[in-house]
């Protein structure tokens, strides 16, 4: 029987003593080698014992056209089976279209988990939830500067939009396969969401180039067992060096991040 995403996440997190997720977001103009798949291979080989997950963002592969989608599929297949892969797609559409997105992400690309937008409501989320062994990370309080444009809007009951999303996600989480995306750049909101959803895995981007606080992200993001916080780093790991030593440099930064996260959670 296929292992559920949360179980797979916890297993490798404990084995590698890590809450670090490396974002595989290659920009061909920034790479020290021409072959994107070669670059991804080197990064994975250098960091696979330091991570709890990898997170390729589909936009970077789609921007390369057909070749990029082939690289994405090869990259997912190359990642060791014991390490979960989160497809950062941020999909969200009406039911029949959402079903097609879910089929592509879970069946064709074979991601263990995906990111989705809840803006269209439950019928846009349900097709993803039907893949009961797959993880579904719902955008809740995102890390970007303009997140407050909508996510801080208050309803007639005094509830902010991101809080309503968190509560709905709890309501939808009948099979235990939902998580939430909450940015490291908003630590108080992260603390709030963790209180509202004490058992869910939280995907936490924004500790690197976006300036999120690592220690607060860990402190407020972990659950009662000091787990289920998936701390994402991409650019600071991928582009740690522009030279031939890029894989070694990536490993060094990943190890430092993994160890800093562990100090922050007392492990």
Average pLDDT, the chain: 94
Q: Could you tell me how far CA 138 lies from the centroid of its own chain? A: 10
Whether the pLDDT of residue 156 is over 80: the answer is: no
Which residue matches tokens 């989160």? 86
Name the pLDDT band for 199 (thresholds 50, 70, 90): very high
pLDDT tens for residues 38-62? 999 999 999 999 999 999 999 999 9
- Looking at the 3D structure of the chain, how many domains does it have? 1
Residue 58: predicted pLDDT: 97
Distances 3 to 9, 12, 79, 260 between C-alpha atoms, Å: 10, 12, 16, 29
DSSP assignment of 81-96 equals TTS-BEEEEEE---HH
Name the pLDDT band for 10 (thresholds 50, 70, 90): very high
Rounded Cα distance, 119 and 121, in Å: 6
Residue 211: predicted pLDDT: 66
Residue 159: predicted pLDDT: 84
Mean per-residue pLDDT, 211-215: 83
Which residue matches tokens 């916080």? 229
Active site residue 55: no
Looking only at the bridges linking them, the beta strands covering 178-182 and 53-56 are unpaired
Name the pLDDT band for 152 (thresholds 50, 70, 90): confident
61 or 210, which is more confident?
Answer: 61
> In sequence order, which residues have a C-beta less than 8 Å from that of residue 24 and are 6 or more positions away?
40, 43, 44, 54, 55, 56, 57, 75, 234, 238
Q: Could you tell me how far CA 47 lies from the centroid of its own chain? A: 16
Domain that holds residue 138: 5-264
Residue 1: predicted pLDDT: 66
Helix (H) or strand (E) holding 7: helix 5-16
Q: How many other C-beta atoms lie within 10 A of the C-beta of residue 265?
A: 17
pLDDT tens for residues 180-197? 999 988 899 999 999 999
Return the CATH number at 79. Answer: 3.20.20.70
Whether the pLDDT of residue 262 is over 90: the answer is: yes
Q: What percent of the chain has pLDDT over 70?
A: 98
Mean per-residue pLDDT, 256-261: 96
* Among 90, 168, 191, 252, the one annotated catalytic: 90
Q: Output b/e per residue, 94-112; b: 16+ Cβ within 10 A.
A: eeeebbebbebbbeebebb
pLDDT tens for residues 138-148? 999 988 888 78
And the tokens for 178? 């939902």
Name the pLDDT band for 209 (thresholds 50, 70, 90): low
């Amino acid at each position: 029987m296929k292992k559920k995403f949360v179980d797979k996440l916890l297993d490798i997190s404990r084995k590698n003593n890590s809450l670090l997720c490396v974002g595989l977001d290659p920009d061909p103009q920034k790479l020290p080698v021409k072959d994107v798949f070669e670059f991804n291979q080197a990064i994975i080989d250098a960091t696979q014992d330091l991570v709890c997950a990898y997170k390729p963002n589909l936009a970077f592969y789609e921007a390369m056209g057909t070749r990029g989608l082939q690289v994405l599929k090869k990259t997912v297949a190359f990642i060791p089976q014991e390490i979960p892969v989160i497809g950062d797609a941020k999909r969200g559409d009406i039911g029949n279209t959402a079903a097609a997105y879910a089929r592509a992400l879970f069946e064709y690309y074979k991601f263990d988990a995906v990111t989705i937008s809840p803006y269209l409501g439950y019928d846009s989320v349900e097709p993803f939830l039907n893949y009961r062994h797959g993880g579904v990370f719902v955008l809740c309080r995102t890390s970007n500067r303009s997140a407050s444009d909508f996510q801080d809007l208050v309803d007639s009951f005094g509830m902010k939009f991101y809080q309503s999303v968190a509560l709905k996600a709890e309501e939808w989480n009948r099979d235990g396969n939902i998580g939430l995306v909450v940015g490291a750049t908003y630590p108080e909101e992260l603390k709030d969401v963790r209180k509202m959803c004490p058992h869910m895995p939280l995907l936490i981007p924004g500790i690197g180039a976006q300036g999120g606080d690592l220690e607060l992200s860990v402190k407020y993001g972990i659950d009662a067992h000091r787990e289920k916080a998936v701390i994402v780093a991409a650019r600071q790991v991928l582009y740690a060096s522009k030279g031939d030593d890029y894989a070694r440099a990536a490993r060094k930064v990943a190890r430092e991040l993994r160890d800093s996260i562990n100090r922050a959670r007392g492990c």
